Structure formats: C-alpha cells, structure tokens
Amino acid sequence: MTRPVGVFDSGIGGLSVLQALRAELPHQSFVYVADSGHAPYGEREPGHVIERSQALTRHLIQAYDVQALVVACNTATAAAIALLRQQHPELPVVGVEPALKPAAQASRTHRVGVLATRGTLESAKFQALLASQQGQADFVLQACDGLADAIEHQDSERIAALGRRYVQALGSCGQDEGKIDTVVLGCTHYPLVADTLQALLGPEVELLASGPPVARQTRRVLPQVAGSGHPTLRWLTTGPADQLQAAVQRWLQAQAHVGTLKI
C-alpha cells in the first residue's frame, strides 16, 4: 500500500484539484483537508494563511505520513509554499498558480481576464508570474471578494450576483479584436461554478483552470506511484462536516465520512 498524498485548501475549492488528481492517479490514496473553520483565506492577512498552511502540513505529515503534499489553493500557494518547502525539504510539495502562461498562449485576441482572490493578486509570487508574462498578452485582473465564500456555502443567489458583478468588471468578452477571449480561474473554488461563469461570459470565452496541470506535476514528483489497488479517500474539515460531505457528494459523486479536525 503506497502512502497517501495530502491535499488541502481553505475549504471545498480544492475538490476541483482533487477531481483532476483522481483522474491522473486513479490508484492513489488521498487525505483531503478543508480548512473551512478558518476560511476564506483570500481576504485575510498573509500571516494567517501562512500559519494555517503550516499547521495543516504538520498534521498531514504527523498523522498520515503523506508522501507528498498538494496545496490546492492559489492563495496559500502564493503565501506559504516557499516556507513549506523550506521547512519540509524531504516532502514533495506541489502548488497551484493561476494559468497565465497557458492563457496567453491560448488567447487569439491577446487579452486575458484573471479572476482570483485579493490575496493571490496582491502577492509577490503572482506579481512575479505576471511580470514573466509581460508582452505575451494584456491581463485584466479582477479580485473577487466574497465569491469563494459564497461557493463555500453553496449560496447560489450570491454566486450569481457576485459572478455577474465581476464578469461585468472585466469588460467586453468575445472573439473580436480588443475583447477578452480567455479567462483564468485563479482560485480553486471557481471551477466548481464554471457553468455559471461560462453562462455569464458567453460561449466564445475559454475558461482555464489549474487542476489538470497540477495533477500531472504531482504524478511527476511522487516518490511512489500506485499502479493498482483500491485507493482510500479520507476527509477532514475544521468547519462543519455536513458542508464538506455535501460538496464531495455533489462534485465527486462520492459518499464521504468526514472527520472534524481541531487544530
């Protein structure tokens, strides 16, 4: 039996990454932690996100002996991944970042929208990524305060209202010159409402999420890749267990026995 891979997010958003991980590594066991009791990360101080990321990582190592860690959260990756790697040099740590490079390559109008949390957009890591793509496309950045929280609580009215507000703020979208034809979903919660966002943006706009590339990268760095066997999925949350349970049922079509984590 190979050791599990740990995956964490501020809440249910990392399920969009876990979906891709399970498709890429069908025999791999995972332990998923939703830090819903301390979410949202995107509108909190980086210090809070760093502290939570360190505590969750320590727990995944000590209690589950994880063979690798996927930080399935753009905000936590931006704030904490360098420190996590420094503190756990033996542990492969894979992070998520907004797919600016693939978006610049995919865009024919060379105009790309980026929806992400304020914490991600304001981070030095994101600013460096943006600078590295200078001249490849025009990037229109939009911080989506409250959207991850609305998704976390599966509040469809608030998701629709905030989605409309932030899509409108991006400006004209479509295939014509000067319009945004590609939108980066720079928060792992957003792919969970991709249908709503696609309906607001229109059918001509391509949405790009980071789950599949993260899953491929995880496969590359895994010390042991399980080739057969029945994988186990374990679920933990620092918030309400029924919230994670409902989300797993809805997006992964799985029954989850969710444990409550008090750290």
Place of tokens 């911080």: 143
Active site residue 144: no
Six token digits for residue 242: 């029924």
Angle formed by the axes of helices 74-87 and 124-132, to 10°?
A: 100
x/- mask, ligand DGL, residues 118-137, rule CB under 6 A, reads --x-----------------
Is residue 187 flagged as an active site residue?
yes
C-alpha 152 chain-centroid distance: 13
- Out of 5, 81, 116, 187, pick the active-site residue: 187
Closest-CB residue for ligand DGL?
Answer: 42
In the window 37-56, what residues touch ligand DGL (CB under 6 A)?
Answer: 39-42
User: What does the H/E/C string look like for the chain?
Assistant: CCCCEEEEECCCCCHHHHHHHHHHCCCCCEEEEECHHHCCCCCCCHHHHHHHHHHHHHHHHHHHCCCEEEECCHHHHHHHHHHHHHHCCCCCEECCCCCHHHHHHHCCCCEEEEEECHHHHHCHHHHHHHHHCCCCCEEEEEECCCHHHHHHCCCHHHHHHHHHHHHHHHCCECCCCCCECEEEECCCCHHHHHHHHHHHHCCCCEEECCHHHHHHHHHHHCCCCCCCCCCCEEEEECCCHHHHHHHHHHHHCCCCCEEECCC
- Among positions 15, 18, 21, 148, the unique one binding ligand DGL when judged by CB under 6 A: 148
Per-residue contact string for residues 64-93; x = within reach of ligand DGL by CB under 6 A: ---------xxx------------------
Question: Contact between 210 and ligand DGL (CB under 6 A)?
Answer: no
If one asks whether residue 10 binds ligand DGL (CB under 6 A), the answer comes out as yes
**Binding span for ligand DGL by CB under 6 A among 7-15, 63-71, 173-181, 222-230:** 7-15
- Applying CB under 6 A, what is the total number of residues that bind ligand DGL? 17
Q: Which of 103, 114, 187, 214 binds ligand DGL (CB under 6 A)?
A: 187
Cβ 112 to ligand DGL shortest distance, Å: 18
Return the range that interacts with ligand DGL (CB under 6 A); candidates 33-41, 56-64, 124-132, 217-225.
33-41
* Dihedral angle, C-alpha 39, 255, 215, 174, nearest 10 °: -70
Q: Which is nearer to ligand DGL, 18 or 73 (CB)?
A: 73
Name which position in 4, 6, 7, 9 contacts ligand DGL (CB under 6 A): 9
Contact with ligand DGL (CB under 6 A) among 52, 59, 111, 189: 189
Selecting among 34, 72, 73, 129, the annotated active-site residue is: 73
Kindly list the catalytic residues.
Answer: 73, 187
Binding site for ligand DGL (CB under 6 A): 9-11, 13, 39-42, 73-75, 117, 120, 148, 187-189
